[in-house]
Amino acid sequence: MEAVHLSAFERVRLLNREEARYLPAFERTVTKIGQGHRVMAQTSLGELIRPVSQGTNDKVAQNAFSSINSKRLDFAIIDRTGLLVCAVEYQGSGHYQGRAFIRDAVKKEALRKAGVPVMEVTQEETPNAAASRLAAVLAKAPDDTRKYGVA
């Protein structure tokens, strides 16, 4: 509390300028599909997927969760039950710096194991083209509403 009290704060943009170009196109696409999908930006991966308990060795699950919880998805597309149905990762101009490839590998493997498709978008792709690809991915997504009792 003392550190917060002694510090000044400023607002920052949730998305950088490059990423922000895609948000309206993705939002229009999910609205047009009309099945209750939502677009979430910069969402913690640990809020969207979790490791399955290993039963006798929950330490493995705890370590796996620790590995993903600090990771963020640029865009998370959730269905009307709140389940992640598609992860969208923007690979912009500053993306391949430092250890980004390791961070991406961890996210991709965890999402693969959870059965969630990952759509990568590059700066060369227009927002409308990326939104069209997103629509195609969502057309293949399972409808879990009956499974989770949502009409």
Distances (CA, A) of 130 to 19, 40, 54, 76, 133: 12, 16, 37, 14, 5
Give pLDDT tens digits along the chain (151 positions). 999 999 999 999 999 999 999 999 999 999 999 999 999 999 999 999 999 887 766 888 899 999 999 999 999 999 999 999 999 999 986 656 666 778 889 999 999 999 999 999 999 999 999 999 999 999 988 766 555 455 5
- Give me the number of domains the chain comprises: 1
Domain of residue 91, residue span: 13-43+73-140
pTM (predicted TM-score): 0.86
Is 3 part of a structural domain of the chain?
no
pLDDT of residue 98: 65
CATH number at residue 114: 3.40.1350.10
> Quick check: 83 and 143 in contact, CB under 8 A?
no
Is 147 part of a structural domain of the chain?
no
pLDDT of residue 100: 74
